Structure 1
């Protein structure tokens, strides 16, 4: 049983100019993020371009990452797939190399959208593994909204203990907080308020470019130093608003590159920022430099 409190950084997957994973940079990034004090790393995250990674690439990322982390923080591995048997296979592989938890999307793209169907999907995966499962509520991407009632029901399973809530609906988020399960915020622009409301922690893409600030924000909230937390938040917010409304992953990766974390390269079909988007991103990052 894992404790996924704190800053779980939804880690980028660094690519070279030809679109191949740069494992040397990957290992370098892990060390940098650990030095920043993150509490967990999410490998194969959405920010890590999971949809565009092969199963074998994910397996190698997870094996290399877990081995290098060596227990210095939690490691959450995404094992999402369209085919249930593939989810089980990916999940078991991640567990076998030492992952602390799994992150699994609901059965998106014309899968069952009724709550009984979604429950059955997770129930089968839950029965196949022995580590914690993090469900993933991101209806803007999947078309499936996980209700608080469904999350509470899922929390009765053996391993289903968390939900990552990236929907951005703070009313639903607070309903999740009233269930038996533990909640991890995934909407960048509500991070501070989710922590104040009682979220166990966050799975945070923007932490790729501001890991020290992300960890500091969590520390300030847990220490109840709210004035300082809000001051820091005001420096973070402009870039968070930009990435949430813009092309998310390319923006996060470019911001990370500008701040010394990674290559900034994306894998097709994602594209680099336009010159106008680049200028707006740089402007939004200004307060972090002050």
Structure 2
């Protein structure tokens, strides 16, 4: 598998009117991502409503995504705030489905160091630096794990981007920004790319930003980031409404048919949904009369 430098995307999970996972809606997201030349995709991450999946849905969706992509890009499977045993079970599902890696937070119980070593024996791992029990230290937590296995293939930093300095000093794996609003600053601090939900919403913008950064064209990168991305991120990155807002955006763009979320995630509400529509028009993602506000 190629290194995960660049733009790695977190897929949303659309549902049908009967509350089944809309796999075709996932495939349409993937089409846009591949067209934009993003690095990889992750299914059932946090923004993909990981907590609402059944184990059967995890298996079926991971397998469907792997088969659809058919080697065109690496496929990751999320493991978010799982128990020690459930996390390893999802790792086995990912491996059996043919996924290239998992993106895993630390488990909510048990020894995290042991967990990641066991998980890495099953499938390559993008290690997530934050969990319900706190934030991992680069030197004390992450470095010792990477010294015991070669199957930690990337690090997702979702805390302050300043951790990039220490991560780049000690680790020889891609260090990725997992906080969408901090991506430009993270790049300036040495980040090798992003793992991002906004990259699924506007993949061409995120890939362009990465390319501008690599070319050291910082003023153009700032114009794109502050002019196009930040207004969208202002609405789509804050819990508990982030899941719903992201789906409204995809619906307005014609990528998915239904903006519903599963409980306990709340609907964005009329005012927030209407305002994000206005934002999309103003940053040029939608034509002035290019979409309906209906759900």
TM-score of the pair, normalised by structure 2: 0.87
Instruction: Please say if 1:257 is aligned against 2:237.
Output: no
Q: Is the Cα–Cα contact under 8 Å of residues 11 and 44 in structure 1 kept in the other structure?
A: yes
Aligned residue for 1:289, secondary structure, equals coil
CA-CA distance at 1:36 after TM superposition: 2.2
Pick the aligned partner of 2:119 from 114, 117, 125: 125
> What does residue 11 of structure 1 align with?
11
- Residue 80 of structure 1 and its aligned partner are, at CA, apart by 4.5
TM-score with structure 1 length normalisation? 0.88
Which residue does the alignment assign to 1:20? Answer: 20
Q: Secondary structure of the equivalent of 1:156?
A: helix
**Paired residues, what number?**
279
What residue number does 2:127 align with?
A: 135
Deviation at 1:52, TM superposition (A): 0.5
Q: 1:276 aligns with which of 261, 271, 274?
A: 271
Flag structure 1 segments of 5+ consecutive residues without an equivalent.
none
In 2, the alpha carbon distance for the partners of 1:248 and 1:154 equals 32
Partner of 2:103, secondary structure, is: strand
User: For residues 193 and 287 of structure 1, do their structure 2 counterparts lie closer, same or farther at Cα, with a shift above 3 Å needed?
Assistant: farther
Cα gap change, 1:244/1:174 in structure 2, threshold over 3 Å: closer, same or farther?
farther
- Where does 1:48-87 land on structure 2 (aligned, <5 Å)? 48-80=48-80, 82-87=82-87
Residues 81, 106 of structure 2: 8 Å contact kept: no
SS in 2 for 1:12: coil
The 2-side partners of 1:19 and 1:240 are apart by 27
Deviation at 1:206, TM superposition (A): 1.1
Moved more, 79-88 or 251-260: 79-88
Root mean square deviation of aligned Cα: 2.0
**Structure 2 residue 210 is the aligned partner of structure 1 residue 222:** no
**In structure 2, what is the Cα distance between the partners aligned to 1:80 and 1:217?**
27
Cα-to-partner distance string for 1:233-286 (whole Å, 9 max, x where unaligned): 112112212323452211222122222322322112212111222233234334
Match of 2:143 among 152, 157, 182: 152
Shift of 1:12: 0.8
